A = this chain, B = another copy of it.
Amino acid sequence: MTSQSMSDGESRLARGRRALAEIDGEAGHAVVAALADIAPDFATYLFEFPFGDIYSRPGLTLRDREIATIAALTAMGHAAPQLRVHIEAGLNVGLTREEITEIIMQMAVYAGFPAALNGLFAAKEVFGRRFPPAQDGVSAGSPASASPPPGAT
């Protein structure tokens, strides 16, 4: 057994809280807050297992881990809220908009065009919120398209 299961559950929780804050930022806090009155223990598990155990492991960078997560959530297709959180998380840990777009496009090969299209529109929504046109007129992959046609989606 490796070192990560030596210290107590408390430190898994603390480590998970730190990792969740680093990776998911505000979106992670919102999910945990929303669990408070339905399943507070599940928030604990969410801190402990995915973030305290898995994301805290040394064998892969957080950037690489988010490539894996964005790919999987796009391909699975039924986890739109989590995909949006992890597109934002990808930006938080160093992926560029272009790289995230590439990952999602690639999923057309493995999970079909609908899954990739839905992923791209999720990315468009997250990028639009994070990089509003006024402050940043350059959208991913297409410098000239600062003004999207209204209602196009």
Contacts and interface: CB of A to CB of B under 8 A. Distances in A.
A117 B77 contact: no
Interface in A46-105: 46, 48-50, 52-55, 57, 59-60, 64-65, 67-79, 81-82, 98-99, 101-105
B75 A140 contact: no
A4 B52 contact: yes
B71 A40 contact: no
A79 B77 contact: yes
- Range for the number of chain A residues in contact with chain B: 35 or more
Copy number in the complex reads 6
A110 B133 CA distance: 32
Given A6-B8, A49-B45, A110 B109 contact: no
Nearest to A107: B72
Contact of A37 (B35, B99, B111, B145): B145
B114 A112 contact: no
Contacts of A68: 67-68, 70-71, 103, 106-107
Contact of A114 (B38, B79, B106, B153): B79
A123 interface: yes
11 contacts: A7-B7, A38-B101, A38-B120, A40-B141, A59-B99, A59-B101, A64-B67, A64-B99, A64-B103, A71-B71, A76-B76
Closest 4 CB pairs of A and B: A37-B145, A77-B78, A68-B71, A79-B114
